[in-house]
Amino acid sequence: MKFPKPISINFSILFFLFFGFSTPLFGKFQAQPPQTTPICPFDHRLVPDGLKIRAVKVSGRRGNNSIEEKLTVRFRGQAYARELLYQAQNEVEGALSEEVNQTFEKQMRIIGGAAPAVIFTKPCVEIDNTAKTIDFIINVFFLGVNLKELAKNILPVPRSVKPSFYNKMSPVLRTFNPQFNLSFDRKTGVEGSFDISTNLLQLSDLWQAKELSDSKYRLEVNFSGRKSFSERFFQTNSDLTFSKIQPDKLVEKLDFGLSFIANDQPLNEMRHFDIGLEGGGKIKLRPRLGALNTLYFEGKYSNSTHKVFDKSGQNILANKENKFKFRSVIDGILWQGFSRFGFWAESAKISNSSDNYQRLAAIFAYQKEFGKGTQTFGLEAVVGGGKTWGKVPQYSLFFGGNNSTNFLYESPDSLTMAEFPVGPLLRSYGKTKANTPTYSGANSYWHTNLNLTIPIRFWSKRLIPDETITYSDGSTKKLNEVLETFTINSAIGGIGGDLLDSIVQDLMKKNPNLTEDEAERQAVPLVQKQAEKIVNKEIAPTIKFISRQANLFAVKPLIMLDAAKIYDNFQPNGFYRFGAGGGFKLITVTAGAEFGYLWSLPRKINEPKGNFVFRMTFQNLF
């Protein structure tokens, strides 16, 4: 049995990355000096006279230090007055609503249009009885919708309702939007990946935190890199893309770009090195129709060099090839869950040879949370297949293993999604370790994979605090219900208000005796239906998910099942492979992780009995 090589990672860095970015989660457990009295919710009757204001604290995620300092400087030393607390509350809301902050919110998190963001603030105070001072604490809940990527709205991904003051945060984070991943696999060992992207047309404004222009054009530079810490394997993709963005249109985004790629990846017991240039275009369509919510189509031409090395490191194959590549990704909402369909096709011609080959692959994946409230069972199902034609070089044959990293959760633009699938997903094998018994590589395959997560009430905390608001008639409502109803209805009200004018004018043309008020009242039911339809397509499912099911953190036991069949030219009936195992899924504010072990069932002779899988994604750093 082969064990992975020793890993030299500074685990304190990992600990910081995982928990350090999640300070809002742990902030409340910090020890409080005994001489202080918190009053939360705020009750002015409990505040004694003669206090001086010491500080203003804001419960934001990123960049709140700056607004805290500004308000503290302004209010420190002043005699406490209730109205000053409300002024501080108003200032915090104002800073979040500032146009400069809104443009970052719009362009970096929600490209595609204005989100129905709602800001809910709750004041609290903390009194230092010894020093006779009072701190103002402004608790903020911020509900926004990611209109750029549907998946980010309705999948159980790291999220927060604490707002970010983008214009006050680190320029590096704001400008380059970095993303980190860590994963472990028997074949590749521990791998770290790093993605950055920025808009060169607004680089200076991003860096200086100036208001971003509402330009339709972007010149994006993106870099994605992945490197094994213990093996020589790596993957890089650098691209420069010119984009046109048209929010609210069917054709939402058009891209033209050039990419440079260089990879050194395992190929069963061999190694595949490739380097090349690619150029092409991509179109993003937003019909917003159920399972056809967002469609990506990409066509590319590539020129690349490929080398295959055997176990001893000897170069056994060297090719240059020209390739036409096509891929599409379709994201949608199906049976109130998230669905994604990916399709890849390519046709390649080997240089200085008459050899050519074609490949097709497709993956369909579905995610849904079952159950009520935040204690839900999560189901993830993946079905995929691929086939080759022609004289296929070894590096383009299929090999099963722990291959595709995270089809459901990746951005459609990511490195992983752009790659042609290597073979069936069989997580009980290391990357590309599952071969046919003839060791020739597969010409076709299919696979199906299932993940089931089980909720444990005490291992999770809901995203929106479990608070209740009592109204004047004695009735009570949960905070999450209030935020959900308020946000959805206000979105309908706002959109309906925009649509109302034209219908009122039509009604008044048809019946000149109608006053404007009468026409408005007649138009409202018509407009209400139209606005509801628009809001229910995208905004309402997102807000409902955040309000009802999203967790601030959750640890869930995970059951993993894999089945696949691979076919080669020698055994057309193919070979089955099965895997089963368990582990845990973890979600916090900024990181998601999956880890577990899968056994091969039954274990094949000369094959490992199983594989430890580990994947951690740091995202949502804003």
Partner 1 sequence: MPTNVAVANLNEVCTEFRIKVMIYSPESGYKFDVTVQRKCFPTKWIVIFNLYKKIGTEFVQLVGVEFETETKEQQKSAEKMSQEGVNILQSQAFRKKVYPAVKVLEDGDPPTESETKKIHTEMSKAVLLNV
Cis peptide before 41 (omega within 30 of 0): yes
Q: Counting contacts by CB under 8 A, is residue 470 touching partner 1?
A: yes
327 Cβ neighbours under 8 A, 6+ residues apart: 296, 297, 298, 342, 343, 344, 345, 417, 418, 420
> 100 vs 559, which CB is nearer to partner 1?
100
Degrees to nearest 5, angle at CA 556 with 552 and 560: 135
Three-state DSSP at 448 gives strand
Q: Which residue has the tokens 């020793």?
A: 6
Stretch that binds partner 1, among 319-327, 487-495, 585-593, 597-605 (CB under 8 A): 487-495
Please state the closest distance from residue 504 (CB atom) to partner 1, in A: 9
Stretch that binds partner 1, among 164-172, 413-421, 527-535, 584-592 (CB under 8 A): 527-535
Please state the closest distance from residue 494 (CB atom) to partner 1, in A: 5
Please state the closest distance from residue 408 (CB atom) to partner 1, in A: 30
Cβ 507 vs Cβ 514: under 8 Å: yes
Q: Counting contacts by CB under 8 A, is residue 44 touching partner 1?
A: yes
> 465 vs 608, which CB is nearer to partner 1?
465
Both tokens of 352, joined, read: 């200085």
> 34 vs 473, which CB is nearer to partner 1?
473
Q: Counting contacts by CB under 8 A, is residue 415 touching partner 1?
A: no
> Can you give the length of the chain in residues?
622
Q: Counting contacts by CB under 8 A, is residue 2 touching partner 1?
A: no
Name the H helices within 423-515: 479-510
Among 383, 454, 524, 534, binds partner 1 (CB under 8 A): 524
Cβ 323 vs Cβ 346: under 8 Å: yes
Binding mask 94-133 for partner 1 (x = CB under 8 A): x--xxxx-x-----------x-xxxxxxxx----------
> 144 vs 424, which CB is nearer to partner 1?
144
Closest by CA to 357, choosing from 322, 314, 388, is: 388
451 Cβ neighbours under 8 A, 6+ residues apart: 378, 379, 380, 381, 558, 559, 560, 585
The footprint of partner 1 on residues 299-358 (CB under 8 A) is none
Q: Counting contacts by CB under 8 A, is residue 163 touching partner 1?
A: no
Q: How many CB atoms lie within 10 A of CB 431?
A: 27
Cβ 155 vs Cβ 615: under 8 Å: no
Q: CA 314 to CA 319: how far, in whole Å?
A: 15
> 76 vs 210, which CB is nearer to partner 1?
210
Please state the closest distance from residue 462 (CB atom) to partner 1, in A: 18
519 CB-side CA count, 13 A: 17
* C-alpha dist (Å) from residue 231 to 5, 180, 184, 267, 419: 8, 19, 12, 13, 21
Q: Which residue has the tokens 């490209």?
A: 111
In DSSP terms, 364 is beta-bridged to 341, 383
Please state the closest distance from residue 82 (CB atom) to partner 1, in A: 8
Stretch that binds partner 1, among 245-253, 258-266, 494-502, 574-582 (CB under 8 A): 494-502
Closest by CA to 21, choosing from 217, 158, 221, 192, is: 158
Q: Counting contacts by CB under 8 A, is residue 492 touching partner 1?
A: yes
Stretch that binds partner 1, among 299-307, 378-386, 493-501, 577-585 (CB under 8 A): 493-501
Name the H helices within 339-468: 415-418
> 394 vs 489, which CB is nearer to partner 1?
489
Indicate left, alpha or beta for 189 from its phi (over 0: left) and psi (-120 to 50: alpha).
left
Among 384, 385, 496, 596, binds partner 1 (CB under 8 A): 496
Please state the closest distance from residue 73 (CB atom) to partner 1, in A: 20
Stretch that binds partner 1, among 169-177, 196-204, 477-485, 574-582 (CB under 8 A): 477-485
Binding mask 208-247 for partner 1 (x = CB under 8 A): --xx------------------------------------
Closest by CA to 210, choosing from 109, 111, 104, is: 104
Q: CA 433 to CA 53: how far, in whole Å?
A: 65
Cβ 446 vs Cβ 384: under 8 Å: yes
Three-state DSSP at 390 gives strand
> 113 vs 287, which CB is nearer to partner 1?
113
Binding mask 182-211 for partner 1 (x = CB under 8 A): ----------------------------xx
Among 207, 486, 578, 584, binds partner 1 (CB under 8 A): 486
Stretch that binds partner 1, among 9-17, 43-51, 105-113, 397-405 (CB under 8 A): 43-51
Pairing of strands 551-567, 444-453: antiparallel
> 117 vs 221, which CB is nearer to partner 1?
117
Among 127, 206, 491, 621, binds partner 1 (CB under 8 A): 491
Q: Counting contacts by CB under 8 A, is residue 494 touching partner 1?
A: yes
Q: Which residue has the tokens 């999450």?
A: 480
Cβ 390 vs Cβ 355: under 8 Å: yes
> 486 vs 553, which CB is nearer to partner 1?
486
Q: CA 372 to CA 112: how far, in whole Å?
A: 31
Q: Counting contacts by CB under 8 A, is residue 493 touching partner 1?
A: yes
Q: Counting contacts by CB under 8 A, is residue 39 touching partner 1?
A: no
- Residues that bind partner 1 (rule: CB under 8 A) add up to a total of 52
Please state the closest distance from residue 524 (CB atom) to partner 1, in A: 5
The footprint of partner 1 on residues 502-521 (CB under 8 A) is 520-521
First to last CA, the chain: 43
> 171 vs 494, which CB is nearer to partner 1?
494
Amino acid 58 reads V
Q: Counting contacts by CB under 8 A, is residue 55 touching partner 1?
A: no
In DSSP terms, 144 is beta-bridged to none
Please state the closest distance from residue 41 (CB atom) to partner 1, in A: 4
Cis peptide before 602 (omega within 30 of 0): yes
The footprint of partner 1 on residues 599-618 (CB under 8 A) is none
Q: CA 140 to CA 81: how far, in whole Å?
A: 21
The footprint of partner 1 on residues 433-462 (CB under 8 A) is none
Q: Counting contacts by CB under 8 A, is residue 527 touching partner 1?
A: yes
Among 315, 490, 502, 505, binds partner 1 (CB under 8 A): 490
Which residues bind to partner 1, rule: CB under 8 A? 41-45, 86, 89-90, 93-94, 97-100, 102, 114, 116-123, 210-211, 467, 469-472, 477, 482, 485-494, 496-497, 500, 520-521, 524, 527-528, 531
